[in-house]
Amino acid sequence: MSWLILAIAVCTEVAWALSLKWATNIGTWAAGSVPIVLSFATMGMLALAMRGLPAGTAYSVWSGLGAVGVILGGVVLFGDRVSLAQAGFMALTVVGVVGTKLLSPH
């Protein structure tokens, strides 16, 4: 169950980071409140996941997949560009996260 909560926390982290750019483009108070709400949600879910997972494992998976998700979301939603070298390092990040998951005792 902790891994499922962590997966939801990663998705919320990606939504939070992308909402920062979206909110600045919109420029309203309502849009500005979205990242605030999402920041509380992602931190809460990360904390819940850490109840059943080591803190280092949970945080490294959350931050690594979150970073890759934000990059991909930026490409899809905002037309950001990613070089071949950046894509390679993103793949290394995913490999590291998968290794962390596979070698986790939980």
Question: What confidence category does residue 100 fall into, taking pLDDT thresholds of 50, 70 and 90?
Answer: confident
Using the predicted structure, report yes or no on whether residue 105 has a pLDDT greater than 80: no
pTM exceeding the 0.75 threshold for the entire prediction: yes
Side-chain-facing half-sphere of 37: CA atoms under 13 Å: 8
Q: Tokens 């899809």 — which residue?
A: 76
Question: Residue type at 59?
Answer: Y
User: Each residue of 45-94: pLDDT tens digit?
Assistant: 999 999 999 999 999 999 999 999 999 999 999 999 999 999 999 999 99
Write out the two tokens for 2: 């902790």
Using the predicted structure, report yes or no on whether residue 106 has a pLDDT greater than 90: no
pLDDT at 23: 93
Say how many domains are in the chain: 1
**CA–CA distance, 46 with 48 (Å, rounded to integer):** 5
**Residue 73: domain span:** 2-102
User: Each residue of 5-57: pLDDT tens digit?
Assistant: 999 999 999 999 999 999 988 889 899 999 999 999 999 999 999 999 999 99
**CA–CA distance, 16 with 35 (Å, rounded to integer):** 5
